């Protein structure tokens, strides 16, 4: 074998050996495990308190801004809506997000008793509130169509855009008083009760042309429109 052939053979052996070592290294060298840490609790803490917790673990606290929380359980200036939640796992440099709670804007329920619904709704909008449910009730003092009361009551504080419910006066059902002339007292009472009316005072008078005990006159007069429960006074023949 010539010197040149010997050198070439030696170089080839070296290259093959090196390649074998590289291949063996790639297949034999184990992959290092990914190190993760457990996400701590930052919700409910102030910003200063929360910053001191993730940093020693290699995590970053990211505040996504200020936000009004739903309900009244979250204290102002504390963190809430943490993402990811406590107990999750992140790699080194992972981010823990949260919002800073700010107090809600409040509005005062205006005095609306005696107003019609459209005017009441306009006042609610001016106050930063909105109209909720509207129910009707019969009122002896408030004219039909006007507000009897509000829920919550006037002067109470609500979050802006919260609803205020109204109770509105409705007209009583009107009943035509029937004609009772000539009826017996028992028949007249029955006719009134069937219509939701009440037999009122009974006075006696004499009319030779009418049967004994027959109704001679009545008040209110027949055809008068009255509310349910209205009393009807009678004059009967003695």
Domain that residue 207 falls in: 174-237
Residue 12 lies in a domain: no
Mean pLDDT of 112-120: 96
Mean pLDDT of 149-172: 94
Rounded mean pLDDT of the chain?
87
**129-138 pLDDT tens trace:** 999 999 999 8
Split into its structural domains, the chain has a count of 3
Please, which residues have CB within 8 angstroms of residue 37's CB and are 6 or more apart in sequence? 57, 58, 59, 89, 90, 91, 92, 94
Domain limit, last residue, from 154, 170, 186:
170
Could you tell me the pTM of the whole model? Answer: 0.52
Higher pLDDT, 203 or 30: 203
Measure the CA–CA gap between 138 and 102, rounded to whole angstroms.
43
CATH of the domain at 147: 3.30.10.20
pLDDT recorded at residue 174: 85
Residue 193 lies in a domain: yes
Higher pLDDT, 60 or 20: 60
Domain limit, last residue, from 101, 130, 148:
101
**95-112 pLDDT tens trace:** 999 999 999 999 999 999
Q: Is the peptide bond before 181 cis (omega within 30 degrees of 0)?
A: no
Domain limit, last residue, from 62, 81, 101:
101
2 confidence band (pLDDT: 50, 70, 90):
low
pLDDT(204) > 50: yes
Give the torsion sign (CA, 204, 209, 211, 212): positive
């Amino acid at each position: 074998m010539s010197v040149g052939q010997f050198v070439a053979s030696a170089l080839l052996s070296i290259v093959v050996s090196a390649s074998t070592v590289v291949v063996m290294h790639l297949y034999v060298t184990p992959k290092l495990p990914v190190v993760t840490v457990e996400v701590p609790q930052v919700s409910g803490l102030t910003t200063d308190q929360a910053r001191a917790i993730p940093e020693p673990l290699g995590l970053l606290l990211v505040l996504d801004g200020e936000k009004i929380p739903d309900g009244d359980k979250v204290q102002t200036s504390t963190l809430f809506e943490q993402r990811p939640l406590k107990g999750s796992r992140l790699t080194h440099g992972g981010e823990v997000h949260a919002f800073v709670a700010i107090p809600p804007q409040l509005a005062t329920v205006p005095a609306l008793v005696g107003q019609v619904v459209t005017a009441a709704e306009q006042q609610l909008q001016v106050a930063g509130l909105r109209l909720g449910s509207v129910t009707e009730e019969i009122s002896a003092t408030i004219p039909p169509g006007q507000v009897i009361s509000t829920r919550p009551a006037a002067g109470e504080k609500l979050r802006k855009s919260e609803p205020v419910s109204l109770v509105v006066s409705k007209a009583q059902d009107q009943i035509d008083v029937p004609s009772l002339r000539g009826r017996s007292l028992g028949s007249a009472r029955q006719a009134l009760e069937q219509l939701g009316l009440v037999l009122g005072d009974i006075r006696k008078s004499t009319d030779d042309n009418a049967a004994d005990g027959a109704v001679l006159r009545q008040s209110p007069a027949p055809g008068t429109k009255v509310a349910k429960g209205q009393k009807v006074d009678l004059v009967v023949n003695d």
